[in-house]
Structure 1
Amino acid sequence: MAPDLADASPGTALPLDGGLSADEFKRAFRNHPAGVAVITADTEQGPVGLTATSVISVSAEPPMLVFSLSSASSSAPGIATARTVVVHLLSAAQLPSARLFATSGVDRFADRESWGRLATGEPFLHRAPVWIRGRIVDRMRAGQSTMVAVHALQAHIAPAAEDAPLVHHNRGWHRLGSHSLLAG
């Protein structure tokens, strides 16, 4: 009989026997849309950043969010060891930024006009309609990824933050808008 999660104490890892293949799991999630964010941090080597579709809010009191870092990302080690990060929630107008930060082997911070530093030192994207600066409070290995918990310390919400959100769905970028709403 398999162990029951209800019987496990917090922090206890249960065995992961069997399960879906990686291809089956990816296929299952392919049609599940996700918001798009760029996460940035400062390291001793300079600014790092990546595009993420795993950002979720988990608590309003205290204000907490979580995101996942793939071990395949070249920016993951820098972000995973940072003390603070900036999570940029993108609108469809920031598609070029989403593509740039999702591309390997390029200098994501080459365009000095597109980003700056907060008073606290973290790199941020000037055109992001919403960004949240936070302190990393926990990390948890989850397969080939690391889940990162962030306590939100500061937010910037531009008036244009009501622009159509950018989502990732079935391997593509999409804009949500009034045409996306279902009646009733």
Structure 2
Amino acid sequence: MTVSPELRTLPTIPSAVPSAPSPRVSFAADPAPAPAPVVGAPRPGSPDLLRSVFRQHAAGVAVITAHGDGRPVGFTATSLNSVAAEPPLISFGVGTGSSCWPVISGAEHIGVHILGEHQEALAATFARSGADRFAAPTRWSLGPEGVPVLDGVLAWLVCRVVAKVPAGDHRIVIAQVVAGDPDGAGRPLLYHQGRFNALRD
């Protein structure tokens, strides 16, 4: 390094007082900035967030049926759950604004049908608003306790309603198994990413 001639000629001045060490100054780390919201992402705590998350959840497909006011009713459900073994209880959700709710709300017994991968059209029929769900080509008959039982399903149950629990704009229906048949042939139909799907090998 080249030294400036002016700096070479400056005298050295001894210090009268020993210099104190520079105080150590610590700085608190700045808090990490909040992540920027993703454009188009669902708002936290919104119904859209719930829907977006549950689109990732593969669920079995069932049709719930009941009979009342002289007519059969039914709808496609992906909210079916086994609740308890003793006594044998199941649950499912139904919207209070659905066309089926007036009948189901007063029904003593309901039918639960597990659909096979060959029944995508049936699932779509029972999910479609305004459809005549029990007209041909739907095949069904009256089963135990006068509940409509669909033909060709993987399995079905008839259950006695024991509770209807308020849950937002839905009711969670809890029902006890009284009859059924688990021996249908085929593989289950699934619902994932807003579509009906079959199992992959």
State the TM-score, normalized to the length of structure 2: 0.74
SS in 1 for 2:145: coil
Aligned partner (choices 172, 175, 178) of residue 195 of structure 2: 172
Contact kept in structure 2, 1:69 and 1:80, CA below 8 Å: no
d(CA) in 1 for partners of 2:137, 2:194: 29
Contact kept in structure 2, 1:86 and 1:122, CA below 8 Å: yes
Q: Which runs of 5+ in 1 are unaligned?
A: 1-18, 180-184
d(CA) in 2 for partners of 1:169, 1:65: 22
Q: CA 1:24/1:156 → structure 2, altered by over 3 Å: closer, same or farther? A: same
Aligned partner (choices 157, 160, 171) of residue 135 of structure 1: 160
- Aligned match of 2:94: 69
1:173 partner letter = F
d(CA) in 2 for partners of 1:113, 1:78: 20
User: CA RMSD, aligned part only?
Assistant: 1.5
Deviation at 1:113, TM superposition (A): 6.2
d(CA) in 2 for partners of 1:148, 1:167: 22
Contact kept in structure 1, 2:144 and 2:179, CA below 8 Å: no
State the TM-score, normalized to the length of structure 1: 0.81
1:48 counterpart = 2:73: yes
- Aligned match of 1:100: 125
1:133 partner letter = V
Deviation at 1:61, TM superposition (A): 1.2
Contact kept in structure 1, 2:65 and 2:112, CA below 8 Å: yes
1:144 partner letter = D
Once the two structures are superposed, the pairs formed by residues 1-184 of structure 1 within 5 Å of their partners are 20-111=45-136, 114-160=139-185, 163-177=186-200, 179=201
Q: In proportion to residue count, which structure has more strand?
A: 1
Identity %: 38
1:69 partner letter = V
d(CA) in 2 for partners of 1:167, 1:159: 16
After the TM superposition, which parts of structure 1 deviate over 3 Å for at least 4 consecutive aligned residues?
none
Greater Cα radius of gyration, structure 1 or 2: 2
Deviation at 1:65, TM superposition (A): 0.4
